[in-house]
Amino acid sequence: MPSRPIVEVGCGGGLTGTRALLCALLVAAAAIMAAGFFTPYLKPTVLTSTPTMTATPQSLTTTKPVSTSLQLGFEWTKDPGTRISDGSVPYVCRLKDGRFRLYYCGEGGILSAISADGLTFEKEAGIRIARADRLGNPESIVGDATIVNLLDGRVRMYYKGANGPGGPGQGVHRIFSAVSSDGLSFEKEGLRIDSEKTGDRGWASVPEAIKLPDGKVRIYYVSGDFEASGGIMSALSSDGLNFQKESGARVKTLVDPAITILPDGRYLLLAVVLPRPPDASQKPERPIGIYSFTSDDGLVFSNQQVVLQEESVFDPSIIELDDNVYRVFYGKDIGGQPGQPNIVTKSVTGKARHMTASTGMKPAPTTSKTTTIDTHPDTLRKSSPPINFIDHTMLASTSHCQEIRRFGRNHQDESYNSPRVRSTPVIPS
């Protein structure tokens, strides 16, 4: 067979025919490679094999700002003196002119006092919300005022009304409202939360209302609902009049809610551990006093902190004084002789610490000489088994505060000398 021609690819010597064509192609390919036209196909291979590229995302991750949901604490200091010497169950709001108005329970119903500095209060004449003159009326006892501002410049007060003394199963507690253009003269609007129709078993008491950023109104209150375990539930309204109960408990076993919204948008809730009656089978799971909790949504609360661990304190109200400075007003039973005032209103002032800035940095440590209460959960008393509902409702209605309530000049229930859940304290004159 004839042999196949051998094609030489060398480029030396003369260039003729096929040999010349192959040499030309090789030269052209070399030129293209030298010019870098193949570089885009080579770069990915080189870059993915370069170990230094992994440092960039790692660096970004470590310098990312921390979450703004870090724990928040306060340093609380008792304010000297007494805010109100013969009344309690306070609620404090700040007026447009900068003054403070304190609503409280006293002789005849819900009263008020005014102050320029939030410490020295002068009583205002008249009664803001009067109680009914007879037992059995849904407003035989009135108390627990709480205020929200309306868009038209008026204010709406929510308050507790009860048909008589005693705890759940004895008195029925409901929540009512009234409106005012000046914060002094109120026109009653009627029933807002009927505890006998909302699953609260006749006990919707100690209301604390707040207007939310979306304009809705939420009321936190002490509920007789078994789900609350004698603690705090809430109801929501888009118009401030018609409320829908929200599922679940906000805080179980604690009572007397107070609420505010912090500058970072979180909710700060105060609640109280009251003493248990002498015949209670279990002790409180926390020491007696006032505690705070925080929440991102106003529904799920955590980060328990101590505000005040002290006997005979109840019914807090909180207000912001300045950036990260808050004052808590609360009721206090100071004892005393029969016929003399023993229920007063006092206060503590606190400065926030550990607030998280947008950079993720904490503010410099305070130079205050105030003693900081150790509020780490490990320092609190270990929890006891869940307290039973009947015991806790007795706690909610049987207090250390010895009160005498009058329901008319010719009727005085002298046997009712201890039950209390922010009910109207009427001090004998």
Other CB atoms within 10 A of residue 318 CB: 23
Inform me whether the pLDDT recorded for 78 exceeds 50: yes
Cα–Cα distance for residue pair 253/259, rounded to 1 Å: 17
Rg of the chain over Cα atoms, rounded to whole angstroms, equals: 35
* Band of residue 386 on the pLDDT scale cut at 50, 70, 90: very low
Sorting pLDDT into bands at 50, 70 and 90, what band is 405?
A: very low
pLDDT digit string (tens) for 322-345? 989 999 999 999 887 666 668 999
Count of CB atoms within 10 A of residue 159's CB? 29
pLDDT band at 134 (very low <50, low <70, confident <90, very high): confident
Decide if pLDDT at 320 tops 90: yes
Among 181, 160, 179, CA closest to 171 = 160
Is 60 inside any structural domain? Answer: no
Predicted confidence at residue 204, as pLDDT, reads 98
pLDDT digits (tens, 9 = 90+) for 26-50: 545 555 444 444 444 333 333 333 3
Residue 333 within a domain = yes
Q: Is residue 143 part of a domain?
A: yes
Q: For residue 335, what is the domain's CATH number? A: 2.115.10.20
* Contact by Cβ (8 Å): 245, 199: yes
Please tell me the predicted confidence (pLDDT) of residue 341: 60
Q: pLDDT higher for 281 or 267?
A: 267
Per the model's pLDDT, the better-predicted residue between 395 and 2 turns out to be: 2
Task: Show the domain range for 204.
Answer: 73-397
At 387-402, the pLDDT tens digits run 332 222 222 222 323 2
Q: Is the pLDDT assigned to residue 215 strictly greater than 90?
A: yes
Structural domain contains residue 183: yes
Give domain status of residue 12, yes or no: no
The verdict on residue 298 lying in a domain is yes
Judged by phi (left if over 0) then psi (alpha if -120 to 50, else beta), residue 173 lies in beta
pLDDT of residue 426: 30
Specify if 424 maps to a domain: no
Q: Tell me: the pLDDT tens digits for 170-186?
A: 899 999 999 999 999 99
What's the pTM? 0.70
Burial class for 31, CB neighbours closer than 10 Å (0-12, 13-18, 19+): exposed
Q: How many domains would you assign to the chain?
A: 1
Residue 270, classed as helix, strand or coil, is strand
Residue 300 domain-assigned (yes or no): yes
